[in-house]
Every structure is written in C-alpha cells, then in structure tokens.
Amino acid sequence: MFGCPSYGKNGACPPSVPSIAECREFFSEYEHIAVIHIPQKLDDPEDREEWGREINAGLLRAERAVFLSENHKAFLLFMDECRVCEDCPGTRIECKNPRLSRPCPEGLGVDVFATVRKLGFPIEVLADYEQTMNRYSFLMVE
C-alpha cells in the first residue's frame, strides 16, 4: 500500500502492526532510545536483502546483550523490513520466529527522516545505487 512492496506480505509490516495510538503508547513505555546509524554502499542492488538480513541478525545480538545486562525491557526496531526468514508467511499470526521478528520504525509510524535529522544524523533520498545509504535502527530501553 502506498508504494511499500512489503505491505501485507511481511508479518512485521503493516497491516500486521499496532495502530498509531497503540504505537504511541508502546513508545511511551521506554525512557531511552539508542539510534544506530548504519551507512552502506552496495555495488549490486540484489545484495540488499542478504545484507539487511545479516545486519538485522547483528542488531538482534546487540538487543540481547542489552537485555542480559539487566535491562529486562529492551526492544529493537530493525533498520529495514524483518528478514529473519527468507520465506515470511505474511502475517503475524503465522510468523515462524515471533521471538526474533521485529518491525522497522516506519512500520510503527516513525518519521525516520525527521527524527534522525533532528539529532544531526545524515539522511537523504537516494537518486541511484552509487550513493551511500544511511539506514537507522532504534534500540529502546526502559
């Protein structure tokens, strides 16, 4: 929907996410948010899915480390759509890895461009694959 190819095809993407009101309530439960900047230039656009899968796996390890350091309420938002599984069934109910699956900030209504610009991070719409992507993940901690 509205240009997103993952709409309705990924269990961690809309419409399989909470409403905006529920997202606001969810975010209010966290006091600290670490913004993780992930710059990357890929020579081949076809490498993006595998690169995203590897980055998200590393981000999940970081979330677990934060959790195990006495932060029982740590939650990560992926920098891209959830790519935990290569063949997502498309709904949250059918998710094969609900403990690892995470939404991206945009899926929960976050304006990533405005948020990171306020913090002084670089971000722009890219015209081609010759440019470096500036991707962002958010790690929230109570």
Condensed to tens digits (0 to 9), the pLDDT of residues 72-130 reads: 999 999 999 998 988 888 888 899 999 999 999 999 999 999 999 999 999 999 998 88
Question: Does any domain span residue 110?
Answer: yes
Question: Does any domain span residue 40?
Answer: yes
Question: Does any domain span residue 79?
Answer: yes
Q: What domain range includes position 95?
A: 20-141
Rg, C-alpha atoms of the chain: 15
| Contact (Cβ atoms closer than 8 angstroms) between residue 105 and residue 77 | yes
pLDDT higher than 90, residue 1: no
**Tally of structural domains, the chain:** 1
Question: Does any domain span residue 2?
Answer: no
| Contact (Cβ atoms closer than 8 angstroms) between residue 73 and residue 142 | yes
pLDDT digits (tens, 9 = 90+) for 25-56: 999 999 999 999 999 999 898 999 999 999 99
Rounded CA gap, 132 and 13, in Å?
A: 25
Query: What are the residues facing 138 on neighbouring strands?
Result: 35, 77
What is this structure's pTM?
0.90
